[in-house]
Amino acid sequence: MNTSAAVLRIRDLCVQVAADGEEILKGVSLALQAGRIFALVGESGSGKSVTSMAAMRLLPDALAITGGAVHMGGQDLFALSEAGMQSVRGARVAMIFQNAMSALNPVQTVGRQVAETLRLHTRLRGAALRQRVVDLFAEVGIPDAAARYAFFPHQLSGGQQQRVMIAMALACEPEVLIADEPTTALDVTIQAQVLRLIRQLTRSRELAVLLITHDMGVVRHTADEVGVMYRGQIIERAPVDDFFRNPREAYSRRLIDALPDLSHFQSAAAEELLLQLQDVKVHFPIRRGVLQRTVDHTRAVDGVSLAIARGETYALVGESGSGKSTLGRAILRLETLAGGRILFKGKAIEGLGRRAMLPWRREIQVIFQNPHSSMNPRMSVGDIIAEGMISLGLDLTAQQRRERITALLQRVQLGAQFSQRYPHELSGGQLQRIAIARALAVDPQLIICDEPTSALDVSIRAEVLALLQELQREFGVSYLFITHDLSIVPGLAHHVGVMQAGRLVEQGSAEQVLTAPQHPYTQALLRSVPRVDGA
Amino acid sequence: MKIVLLWSDVLVFLLVLSLCLFFYKLRQDPQIRQRWSQVFASRLGMVTFTVIATYVAVALLDSMHFRRALDAPPGLAAQEVFYDNKVTSVLDIMLDGMGERFERTYSAPFALRSFEKQNMKDERGRDIRDFPALRHAGTHLAQADDKWPDVARKSARALLWGLLLSALWLAPQWLLLRGSPRPWRASWAVQAAVLCAAVWLVSISRHYHVLGTDLGGADVAYQSIKGVRTGVLLGTLATLIMLPIAVTLGVMAGYFKGWVDDLVQYLYTTLSSIPGILLIAASVLLFQVYIDLNPDFFSIGMEKADARFIALCFILGVTSWSTLCRLIRAETLKISQLGYVQAAHAFGVSHLRILGRHILPNVVHIILITFVLDFSALVLAEAVLSYIGVGIDPSMGSWGNMINGARSELSREPAVWWTLSGAFIFMFVLVLAANLFSDLVRDAFDPRTSTRRSPL
Amino acid sequence: MFAYIVRRLLYAIPILVGVNLLTFLLFFVVNSPDDMAVSQLGEKYVTPAAIQAWKEKNGYDKPLFVNAQAAGAATLTDTIFFTKSVRLFAFDFGRSESGRDITTDVSTRMWPSLAVALPTFAVGIWVNICVALMVVMFHATRLDRWAVFGFVALMSISYLFYIIGGQYLVAKSWKLVPISGFHGGAQAWKFLLLPVLVGVVAGIGSGARWYRTLFLEEANQDYVRTARAKGASEISILFGHILPNALIPILTGVVVLIPSLFMGSLLIESFFGIPGLGSYMLDAIRSQDFAIVRSMVFIGSILYIVGLILTDISYTWADPRIRLN
């Protein structure tokens, strides 16, 4: 397999923080070959992006390259002048980045931005230049390419923005493409399309691709060779099939294990109903005209009915903007309903006032997506956990409260000493455990988990999910688990509901929905989920 | 001796007390403590803070007022004590009578003779027109040529004393803080420089007018120092009056939204649409009318000036809350959407508690940044207001009044530059230190600056 | 867009009513016309008859809000509130306390104000942007740090010193231009040069420092990284990407000031003897002519509100992401 010569070779690359000499990269070596995709995987902070930026000499001032070499053909990139390097970037090595919306200049048309690359490295001008850009747009699958030339980035969808980025990268027919988490900010269905495009272009243009990602599913589907990065070093490197069949390092094993297994499902739990939603609607007004009259509504949630039994997990799956989080907030009474009923233990709670709602707030709790913004940075962990107990009037003395906090912290596998710490001192995984402890503090029956693991790294995600399941068995608590990530559903949920544009398009037992999806949207979602078994 | 407590004095001490308390409270929060230590980790932070602290110390010393007991006139019973009509401050004592050495009119720095000619008689009794000798400058000199050697001699001696005093003053600090990682040396250097300069100024001023005298013959150096209290007080008092209004309204608007928000937005848009200088001028003029119509209200002249000063602070405070209010409203809107406020709602935490525990502590950095930023702006504004004629009462020393009195004197031949220079130096050092310090505070507390959008 | 502007104009009405009410309260309720008469006449001449005469002469002898003696609509119109405050809405400013027609004064005096303020404003922005760009090019070097220190130092100097210093150096010592005065026609530039220069120099500190932060903020955006990855040089990134983006907050931040340029600058005009609205206001304040102050407050508020509307319009013009509705 390694017959063709490397197009780009990185050798013993070392990077340090300029100020204190902390090592970020400790001798990274890799080689990219034409027509093949090398995937660099690792969790946040492992140094994958730094590797690519250092190779292109685009590191921020705070970081300094302290050793190593990057060769392209016979040329040492580190020996080039800055002007020489500029003629390499974009022309021979192109890059695409994670969040296309912010990576594109917001006040320039996308056509001009692609044209800029061509202007910098070719002699194309005028109509020929424009035609070349339109051709590129067509090649990367942007519909109605000629008209899109004059669009601004915000007028395109996320997938189209990323296609523009790819067009920009391909403009000067580079030999190497560095793709830094190119699909992370995209919805799953779009993600699959963009990956397919990258793969197809790799073959058709004989590109040497460095694909940086944290997602093993992406690797499985797209890459030819894998390098696992951990704390500034590549700890394992192998062809992709060998890697998934037989990983050498325990850390690689963990990354692979985090992928979904569609053969084991949770069996349905008890029958006793805890929460019922009947035709729930949440509408946001659209105001127009001189008097700002409400002319229409955005139907964020448009008639959703579902039921959650005691001690079970209901996974609500859908892409961003499908209304799943709004539904969660509506159950918490953080949004006003436009219609429908919410029955908790058979009692209607949708019309209760602030005070009448208080007893129910003990029963329904919440864990949010972003662990950093869901903790008040000015409060200690102990105070954060105690807040609910105090405001919901659990009759506890200060001593009892302290004991309970200690017990809860230990239950979520943190020590009692954490109660004195502040949120900014803790990692995302630790914070999410504290969020769980905070919710558990008032003995709820239902916890609404709004994407609780999507901000976490893969290996930590698995731990947090395992903890949630353990707690469910122990306390018999139910979860409404809101997620965009179908891959975590199988081992977790008893029931699954799929939301699209405010409506529940399909629901049923997890096994039923995941193995025999009825609705085309569910089928599309399921198809785009990366799986280890190479399906 | 009878202690005089002006309203502004009371406010100053309350202010210093509450600021100390505020910062003590803030220190308990480890994150805020860390940010402060970032400010003080730089030499610039230490130096500017020491300079500001020096100004504040001078202002505090100048805020302890009393009326001196007069010696009983002969023939009257000793038990009855009369008090001087003039109010003295502790600072005046420390300056060793610097403010009591009046000349007739202008005189240049270190001059021995007046700036203007005047009719007088010579030794033989003839009428001549010449520059008269100053009453309080160089009277101990045998002849005018001795002046500069004398100044040098006296300076050297003063400097020695200054160094000695600095050593005594800094020794305990050195013993306490020598292991500290912070750049205390920079602060000590400034402290030593300030002490030496103070000793030098006081001792030289006994024999010369270091910065000359002004139109009324008053010592310019003394006036510049007296301006410190006015500047520092105005800068802090006005901000402190503005803070509660801005914070309350801003937080309420951002948190409750709906009609509360509409009302607050309406209020601040209305207020900020009025040209600030006109609003201030009109308010001050109206207050002046009130003072003029109620002359019996104030027993001594100084109280009248003081009342006008406090009124000015109030007016500046009440008319300037809209900017901060807007910032706090925007930040509160943002915080209200964050997970921890949502979680608090889910826990049924009361509005008051959410405001007090979740929102307020998280807008403190804006308040802090505004406080230091507005301070320098207000010190500069004072000069402009005094020029317009709606500033500090002319009987109360202030840099604005000094500039106002001397602004046309540069066109004289030769120019009278020293009054302006005195005010300029003292004002510039304070404002520069405050501006640099506020930059550091902002860097430490707010990584992203300037998020602006139209207010309506 | 159209509906938006109409709505904003409608919203301006309650604000102007608020401004009007506030000034009315300040001028007539907190201080009664009698108080004003006393302070205008001076203590020595205060007799009840003199006060009455002064009030009659200036039209302050009516009740504040409701005139019970008048008939019909006049119960509301023949009052101080109506004649002095409500009529402002019809741009009827009445007469100053010294008897001059305020509308005429304003319309003749705003042109000299504009002649100074407009060049100061335009040249000022241009100079600030240039200085800031220059500093940004040397970002994170010693030069950059000293430049920022210089900006802060410039900001720490009172405006008065800029004027006094400028007059002393340029006009008195170097005798390049007249110290003060104003003349229309071809000679005008001689008198305008120094005020404009002083205004521009005085603004460099805060202006250039602010623009520098805006530029640096943009320089940290992701699209700058993209441009680098394309192979663009630092200079072309600065001018091609950073500048157009940073111009959005700069433009929209200064647009609000444009209408207020008519009001002129109090300090510049009074020091340089320019017969504009700034010196008009200053004279009014010094002679305690409340009729003029009231009118100028009203005009200033209108101009500010127009500025706010222009700001929003300029947003849509400068930033393709923003649509008003």
Q: B265 lies in which domain range?
A: 220-453
Say if CB B292 and CB C39 are below 8 A apart.
yes
Nearest to A107 among C222, C232, C319 (CB): C319
User: Which pLDDT band holds residue B456 (cuts at 50, 70, 90)?
Assistant: very low
| CA–CA dist C93, C81 (Å, integer) | 13
Question: What residues of chain A lie within 8 A of the CB of C222, using their CB?
Answer: 97, 99, 102-103
Residues of B in contact with A361 (CB under 8 A): 346-348
Same domain for C178 and C33: no
Residue predicted with more confidence, C111 or A532: C111
What percent of chain B clears pLDDT 70, i.e. is strictly above it? 95
Domain that holds residue C123: 109-318
Residues of chain B in contact with residue A378, where contact means CB-CB under 8 angstroms, are 29, 31, 357, 361-362
Asked if C20 and C130 sit in the same domain, the reply is no
Residue B453: predicted pLDDT:
28
> So what's the pLDDT on residue B199?
92
- Is B84 a member of any domain? no
**pLDDT of residue B454 exceeding 60:** no
Return the pLDDT at B451: 33
- pLDDT per position as a tens digit, C128-155: 999 999 999 888 788 998 999 999 999 9
Rg from Cα positions in chain A: 26
Flag whether pLDDT at B235 surpasses 80.
yes
Strand residue runs (E) in A214-325: 225-230, 233-239, 273-288, 293-309, 313-317
**Contact list, B381 vs chain C (CB under 8 Å):** none
H helices of B257-275, in order, are: 258-273
**Chain A residues inside the 8 Å CB shell of B347:** 361, 365, 387-388, 391-392, 442
- Identify whether C324 is part of a domain: no
pLDDT at A359: 87
Give the mean pLDDT of C86-110: 82
Tokens 């990530």 found at? A485
Asked if residue C74 and residue C205 are part of one domain, the reply reads no
- Residues β-bridged to residue A177: A94, A209
Asked whether the beta carbons of residue A105 and residue C223 sit closer than 8 angstroms, the reply is yes
**CA-based nearest distance B412→chain C, Å:** 10
Q: Which long-range contacts (CB under 8 A, 24 or more apart) does A293-300 make?
A: A297/A338, A299/A502, A300/A326, A300/A502
In a domain, B126, yes or no: no
> Is residue B349 within 8 angstroms of chain A, CB to CB?
yes
Of C267, C301, C315, Cβ closest to residue B274: C301
Percentage of residues of chain C with pLDDT beyond 70: 95
- ipTM of the complex, rounded to two decimals: 0.86
CA distance C6 to chain A (A): 6
Q: Nearest 5°: CA angle at C118, between C113 and C123?
A: 140
Q: How much is the average pLDDT of B431-454?
A: 71
Answer yes or no: do B357 and A357 touch at CB < 8 A.
no
- Residue B40 domain-assigned (yes or no): no
Question: Tokens representing C100?
Answer: 């001059």
Confidence label for B389 from pLDDT (cuts 50, 70 and 90): confident
Residue A103 has a pLDDT of: 92
Q: pLDDT grade, residue B412 (50/70/90)?
A: confident
Across all residues in chain B, what is the average pLDDT? 85
Whether C206 has a pLDDT exceeding 70, the answer reads yes
* Pair (C194, C241) in one structural domain: yes
> Which residue is closest to C222 within chain A, CA to CA?
A103
Q: What is the pLDDT of residue B452?
A: 30
Look at residue A290 in the predicted model and tell me its pLDDT: 67
Q: Which of residues 358-377 of B touch A (CB under 8 A)?
A: 358, 361-362
| pLDDT category of residue C9 using cuts at 50, 70 and 90 | confident
Mean pLDDT confidence for B195-201: 92
Asked whether the beta carbons of A431 and A371 are under 8 A apart, the reply is: yes
Q: Which residue of B has its CA nearest to A358?
A: B348
CA gap A59, A55 in Å, rounded: 9
State whether A58 and C245 contact (CB < 8 Å): no
**pLDDT bracket for residue C226 (50, 70, 90):** very high
| Among C10, C230, C325, beta carbon nearest to A117 | C230
Would the pLDDT of C88 be above 80?
Answer: no
Which residue from A451, A144, A47 is spatially nearest to B339, judged by alpha carbons?
A451
Q: Are strands A6-17 and A63-72 parallel, antiparallel or unpaired?
A: antiparallel
Question: C179 and B411: CB-CB below 8 Å?
Answer: yes
Distance CA B419, CA B211 (A): 7
**Exposed, middle or buried, A139 (CB in 10 Å: 0-12/13-18/19+)?**
middle
> Is C169 domain-assigned?
yes
Determine which of A57, A105, A151 to mutate to test the interface with C (most C C-beta atoms within 10 Å). A105
pLDDT band of residue B448 (cuts 50, 70, 90) is low
Instruction: For residues A365 and A381, give the distance between their C-alpha atoms in angstroms, rounded to a whole number.
Output: 18
B196 domain-assigned: no
**C245·A105 Cβ contact <8 A:** yes
How many structural domains comprise chain B? 1
pLDDT over 50 at B455, yes or no: no
What CATH number is attached to the domain comprising B365? 1.10.3720.10
Strands A36-41 and A225-230: parallel
Are A171 and A117 in contact by the 8 Å Cβ rule? The answer is yes
Q: Are C136 and C177 found together in one domain?
A: yes
What's the average model confidence in pLDDT over C194-214? 92
Identify the pLDDT of residue B197. 93
Residue A298 touches partner C, C-beta closer than 8 Å: no
pLDDT digits (tens, 9 = 90+) for B175-188: 988 888 888 989 99
Convert the pLDDT of each residue in A473-523 to its tens digit: 888 899 999 988 887 888 888 899 999 888 999 998 888 888 888 998 888
Find which of B25, B331, B335, B347 to mutate to test the A interface (most A CBs within 10 Å of its CB).
Answer: B347
Length of chain C: 325
The total of structural domains in chain C comes to 2
Residue B250: is its pLDDT beyond 90?
yes
Do the Cβ atoms of B348 and A329 come within 8 Å? no
Domain termination site, one of C90, C124, C144 = C90
In a domain, C124, yes or no: yes
Contact A530, A220 (CB under 8 A): yes
Distance CA A125, CA A116 (A): 10
Q: C222, A102: Cβ pair inside 8 Å?
A: yes
Say if the Cβ atoms of C231 and A120 lie within 8 Å: yes
pLDDT of residue B447: 52
Contact status of B30 with chain A (Cβ, < 8 Å): yes
Tokens of A511: 């096994």
pLDDT along chain A (535 residues), means of 10: 73 89 90 93 86 90 89 89 92 90 91 93 91 92 90 89 92 92 81 88 92 86 91 91 89 79 68 88 81 78 90 89 89 88 89 86 89 87 90 83 92 88 86 92 92 82 88 91 84 89 89 87 79 51
Q: Are residues C155 and C34 in the same domain?
A: no
On whether both C202 and C72 belong to a single domain, the answer is no
Q: Residue A234 has what pLDDT?
A: 93
- Tell me if C242 is assigned to some domain: yes
The C-alpha of B131 sits at a distance from chain C's nearest C-alpha, in angstroms, of: 26
Q: How far is B204 from chain A (nearest CA, A)?
A: 49
Q: Answer yes or no: do C126 and C264 share one domain.
A: yes
Cα of A98 to nearest chain C Cα, Å: 10
Q: What is the pLDDT of residues B7-37, one digit of tens each?
A: 888 888 888 888 888 888 877 777 778 888 8
- pLDDT tier at B424, thresholds 50, 70, 90: very high
Across B81-95, C47-61, C304-318, the highest mean pLDDT is recorded for C304-318
Q: Clarify whether residues C131 and C199 are in a common domain.
A: yes
Looking up residue C240, the CATH number of its domain turns out to be 1.10.3720.10
The angle at the Cα of C281, spanning C279 to C286, to the nearest 5 degrees, equals: 95
Instruction: Report chain A residues whose CB lies below 8 A from the CB of C229.
Output: 56, 58, 89-90, 94-95, 97
Q: Chain C residues with CB-CB distance to A under 8 A?
A: 3, 6-7, 10, 140, 221-223, 225-233, 240-241, 244-245, 248, 318-321, 325
Would B211 be classed as within a structural domain? no
Asked if A288's CB is within 8 angstroms of C231's CB, the reply is: no
Which three-class secondary structure state does DSSP give residue B154?
A: helix
| Residue of A365, A391, A442 with shortest CB distance to B353 | A391
Contact between B84 and B2 under an 8 Å Cβ cutoff? The reply is: no
* Residue B304: pLDDT band with limits 50, 70, 90: confident
Contact call for A374 and B347, based on CB within 8 A: no
Measured distance CA(C44)–CA(A398) in Å, rounded:
73
Report the predicted TM-score, pTM, of the whole model to 2 decimal places. 0.86
Q: Residue B344: which of A378, A387, A435 has the nearest Cβ? A: A387
Q: Is the pLDDT of residue B142 over 50?
A: yes
DSSP string, A1-45: ---SPEEEEEEEEEEEETTT--EEEEEEEEEEETTEEEEEE--TT
